[in-house]
Structure 1
Amino acid sequence: MGDVTVIVEASHPDNLMGIYDPVGGIERIVIFRDANPTEAEVRKTVLHEVGHFFGMDEGALERAGYG
């Protein structure tokens, strides 16, 4: 991976599990702890957001099992 920051925050007001945010010159992935109570959900969310980092859209992520 290139330069991407991974951040863990407590929660998101819209109950998102994670978000890839390439805006502002600093690419970052934010994982929201309260929305991911199990290790399996954390793994799937991280892989989903990393997929966005590599340019995958929601359809491609769904086909890969990370939708």
Structure 2
Amino acid sequence: MTEQEFDDAVSAALARFPDELARLLTNVVVVVEQEYEPEPWEDPDTELLGLYDGIPLTERAEMPWQLPDRIVVFRGPLTRHCRSRAELEDEITVTVMHEVGHFFGIEEDRLHELGWG
């Protein structure tokens, strides 16, 4: 899968959200990066598929100049994790849904119960 096709798959996953939820995705950017760089205190072999960096909607206070939250999808780990294009497309969708779930304040255990992680 080319970089553009990967980016398109991320966009397609975002397009699956119902309009009612998509309208709530404000002040958040979704980016694709090649690799996750573990923090110094993390295991150097940590390989994340995605990351939500921000303040969940459920904990947010209105501030006039709040920096955007970020959802990062990591191309390298996802492509290494999957054996076929179809599996990669599915895993991209699961990863995007999982990280957007964190934006909405859904905890890790609940996301797994829902099948998004």
TM-score of the aligned structures, taking structure 1 as reference length: 0.89
Structure with higher RCO (Cα < 8 A, 6+ apart):
2
* Unpaired runs of at least 5, structure 2: 1-24, 38-45, 56-65, 80-87
- Measure how far apart 1:2 and its partner are: 1.6
What per-residue deviation string (whole Å, max 9, x for no partner) do you get for residues 19-59 of structure 1?
00006832010000011121111110000000000000011
Where is the strand percentage greater, Structure 1 or Structure 2? 1
Count of residue pairs brought into register by the alignment: 67
Selected match of 2:76 from 28, 34, 40: 34
Q: How does 1:47-66 map to 2 (within 5 A)?
A: 47-66=97-116
The residue number in structure 1 matching 2:27 is: 3
Runs of 4+ in 1 over 2 A off after TM superposition: 23-26
- Percent identity between matched residues is 43
* Unpaired runs of at least 5, structure 1: none
Q: Which has the larger radius of gyration?
A: 2
Letter in 1 for 2:69: E
